[in-house]
Amino acid sequence: MGAITFYEKERIFQLDTPKSTYVIGIVDEENFVGHVYYGKKIKDGRVGYLLRTAEAPFVPSKNNGERVSFLDSFPMEYPGNGLGDYRRSSIAVRTQGGHAAVALSYVSHKIYPGKPALPGLPATFGDAESCETLELLCEDGVLGLKVTLLYTAFTDVDVITRSVRIENQGEALYLTKALSFSMDMDNRDFSLLTLHGSWGRERMMERRRVGHGFMGVESVRGESSHQDHPFMALEAEGAGQSSGEVYGIHFVYSGNFIGQAELNQFDKVRVSMGIHPENFCWKLERGESFQTPEVVLTYSDTGYEGMTHNLHDLYRSHLIRSPYKDKKRPILINNWEATYFDFDTEKLLAIARQASKLGIEMLVMDDGWFGHRNDDTSSLGDWYVNEEKLKGGLKYLVDEVNKLGMKFGIWFEPEMISPDSKLYREHPDWALAVPGRTGSLCRNQYVLDLTRREVLEHTYESVAKILRSANIEYVKWDMNRQLTDIGSLGLPADRQGEIYHRYVLAVYELQERLVTEFPQLLLENCSGGGARFDPGMLYYSPQIWCSDDTDAIERLKIQEGTALIYPLSTMGAHISDCPNHTVGRVTLFETRGHVALAGTFGYELDITKIPEEDVKQIPAQVEMYHKYNDLVRGGDYYRLASYAGNHMYDCWELVSKDKTEALVTFVQVLGRPNYKSRRILLKGLDADKYYRIEGLDGVYAGDTLMYAGILVENPWGDFQSRLYHLTEVLN
């Protein structure tokens, strides 16, 4: 039996992953598609009785006088709109007559090995050996609307993905809502975990009890945002870090989104996620189709730990495509916090010369190298080298850096345009704008209207021309403001509601073209730090700048929330100078290194000016990175303690897949008086193996380390850290 089974007599679909089962049922003469079960793997998915169709109000063919009662209580797999289901809908339209009603009925299905790509969109991928796909074709015969529900069940990781393809075979209409996923479940005293934040404090974890009404997360900023994240987790009563049932829901998209949980009068929870319907209106002519982005679902009966491992494994194996995904990233030094806009060729080379002697492998030139940009008020869009700063030109600088044995990287902000720029003076209409309204500046810049083909082509060629001019091996792609002034001169009046989604599709096209023309390029996405840190961007870049806040202690909370759902190898993390430029805190250079190790690892400082005692530590930090990066990049992540929760200390562990090696990082944030030591229980080891801990005497059994633990010695002062490296002892 494959991953997906259809029980023809019962009209039941069973989707299996290694440890979970998802069941869908077709009921009544009208072929309603119902959600039956999602949870721990079961042998026989023929559990259609869970749909309760034998109970009043019964199905419409038996009791049409209570059709509304049926629609308002049946666990819909993809709920329609306006006909009696008063819960949140997944799809809505506006017809030529002004009506919004949609009702979907099952027509047919296909089951096949592998997974289709989603045109123009990032999505997980898999071959015939790793996954199987179900397509459920549904229709609204009144509208002439064909809606295909796509499900993929992975066989090597506990994940099911969902998306929707909508095709219009009737007269022209407007999609006003097209979510990617919905699921109805009996309430089990669920709580909702979400990730919120702002600039400098992204992805802070927050739990709320699911109460009557609705709650969730959303962004209408044109990107996934600092403020909310396109992720939700439903945790059943009693679930925690390592035990209990957790459902993770994650959106593979980089624009406006909404994720909702709604508890109704019958103690049922409806969860849904997709493109935010606010300011969304997509015209579908006859014969046209619309593909929604993908939602990733994962079930764990081992708490958040299992959910985290599922998502990490999925993204490492089935989403990230970069040639760097399974190898070390070069240790880079970025000049932003070192110089800001005040640099020239000689200053950059001075940093590079010192860095190269210490084992740092790449110099990245950040903002300020183009146009006449000496602050943030000018030149975005003018992607030509300022040779007053870079005397001899870009190629000369790159060649000189290469002669030092270092790679070279560069910063762009391709989606933006400054009013004070040659490009804006020539093409003021290329910025997003609403006629008659004063444009809304943010960081002294407007947003380019990438929905227009001529703007997109110019933008791509501007970036590509620079990359073709020299041996540039890394690009930091930044976006420092959100979208406003949603108007395009390139679209007719009845398609202005398509701008937000078309903009995201344009960004995806630009980055797809970039990594296609420059296949060995290491691309790192960024948006004012972590405002566009989402699975959609990981499809194009194997790493994303986690936050502009590089303070090691603040990063403990930021990186914990990020690592909850993303592999550590995706998190851009650097060692920066102190006092920290964001919060003014002073931490030990060693601690800054240990925190940055749980990410891509690099430097963000002026290496020619930092204290000599810090400089002397860099070779050891470089050695540390090379020693542990395979484990950081590919190991299983375990959260042992949370500074965000206990406000005193932080601890995490990485364990190799074969359980022969582990690395524990402990950070004491606040020193504690008159205490001796703290006991930490490790996780994920092989209970029957024996381990040696580097720097400590003795050999320890795996079960001893997990159930009895190790002692972290005290007393310590504030902001101190330690690493514990475990290796298996062979007989």
Dump pLDDT digits (tens) for 410-419: 999 999 999 9
Looking up tokens 């609403």, which residue turns up? Answer: 434
Q: Beta strands 690-693 and 720-728: pairing type? A: antiparallel
Share of the chain above pLDDT 70, in %: 99
What mean pLDDT is predicted for residues 136-154? 98
| Residue 452 contacts residue 430 (beta carbons within 8 Å) | yes
Nearest to 443 by CA among 380, 511, 372: 380
Residues annotated catalytic, as ranges: 478, 548
Name the 3-class secondary structure at 465: helix
Superfamily of domain 641-728: Golgi alpha-mannosidase II (2.60.40.1180)
CATH class of 332-634: alpha beta
Per-residue pLDDT tens for 340-357?
A: 999 999 999 999 999 999
Q: What pLDDT, on the 0 to 100 scale, is given for residue 713?
A: 83
Confidence of residue 689 (pLDDT cuts 50, 70, 90): very high
CB atoms within 10 A of CB 156: 15
Q: Write the secondary structure of 350-362 as one string of H (helix), E (strand) and C (coil).
A: HHHHHHHHCCCCE
Per-residue pLDDT tens for 163-199?
A: 999 999 999 999 999 999 999 999 999 999 999 999 9
- The distance from CA 26 to its chain's CA centroid, rounded to whole angstroms, is 33
CB atoms within 10 A of CB 238: 11
Nearest to 77 by CA among 56, 41, 111, 106: 106
C-alpha 599/C-alpha 577 separation (Å) is 18
| Residue 232 contacts residue 212 (beta carbons within 8 Å) | no
Q: What pLDDT, on the 0 to 100 scale, is given for residue 30?
A: 96
Q: Which long-range contacts (CB under 8 A, 24 or more apart) does 704-711 make?
A: 705/681, 706/681, 706/682, 707/681, 708/681, 709/679, 709/680, 709/681, 709/682, 710/664, 710/679, 710/680, 710/682, 711/677, 711/678, 711/679, 711/680
C-alpha 651/C-alpha 207 separation (Å) is 21
Report the mean per-residue pLDDT for the chain.
97
Q: What pLDDT, on the 0 to 100 scale, is given for residue 671?
A: 81
| Residue 385 contacts residue 354 (beta carbons within 8 Å) | no
- The distance from CA 599 to its chain's CA centroid, rounded to whole angstroms, is 15
Q: What pLDDT, on the 0 to 100 scale, is given for residue 587?
A: 96
CB atoms within 10 A of CB 292: 25
**What fold characterizes domain 4-318?**
Beta-galactosidase; Chain A, domain 5 (2.70.98)
Q: What pLDDT, on the 0 to 100 scale, is given for residue 574?
A: 98
Q: Residue 2 pLDDT more than 90?
A: no
Confidence of residue 19 (pLDDT cuts 50, 70, 90): very high
C-alpha 69/C-alpha 88 separation (Å) is 15
CA-only gyration radius of the chain, Å? 27
Tell me how far CA of residue 92 lies from CA of 83, 100, 578, in angstroms. 11, 6, 53
Q: Residue 715 pLDDT more than 70?
A: no
Confidence of residue 1 (pLDDT cuts 50, 70, 90): low
Q: What pLDDT, on the 0 to 100 scale, is given for residue 104?
A: 98
Q: What pLDDT, on the 0 to 100 scale, is given for residue 312?
A: 98
What mean pLDDT is predicted for residues 578-605? 97
Confidence of residue 676 (pLDDT cuts 50, 70, 90): confident
C-alpha 377/C-alpha 366 separation (Å) is 16
Q: What is the model's pTM?
A: 0.97
C-alpha 360/C-alpha 347 separation (Å) is 17
C-alpha 155/C-alpha 2 separation (Å) is 9
Tokens for 401?
């850096």
Per-residue pLDDT tens for 516-563?
A: 999 999 999 999 999 999 999 999 999 999 999 999 999 999 999 999
C-alpha 650/C-alpha 560 separation (Å) is 9
Per-residue pLDDT tens for 617-633?
A: 999 999 999 999 999 99
| Residue 77 contacts residue 182 (beta carbons within 8 Å) | yes
Tokens for 434?
């609403």
Tell me how far CA of residue 313 lies from CA of 156, 318, 578, in angstroms. 9, 8, 35
Per-residue pLDDT tens for 28-38?
A: 999 999 999 99
Could you report how far apart the first and last alpha carbons of the chain are, in Å? 41
Name the 3-class secondary structure at 304: helix
Residues in Cβ contact with 98 at an 8 Å cutoff, skipping those fewer than 6 apart = none
Q: Residue 454 pLDDT more than 70?
A: yes
DSSP 331: P
Exposure of 692 by Cβ count < 10 A (0-12 exposed, 13-18 middle, 19+ buried)? middle
What mean pLDDT is predicted for residues 461-468? 98
Give the domain ranges of the chain: 4-318, 332-634, 641-728
Exposure of 331 by Cβ count < 10 A (0-12 exposed, 13-18 middle, 19+ buried)? buried
DSSP code string of 79-91: --BSSS--S--SE
| Residue 283 contacts residue 494 (beta carbons within 8 Å) | yes
Confidence of residue 435 (pLDDT cuts 50, 70, 90): very high
Dihedral sign from CA coordinates of 681, 684, 686, 690: negative
Higher pLDDT, 54 or 565: 565
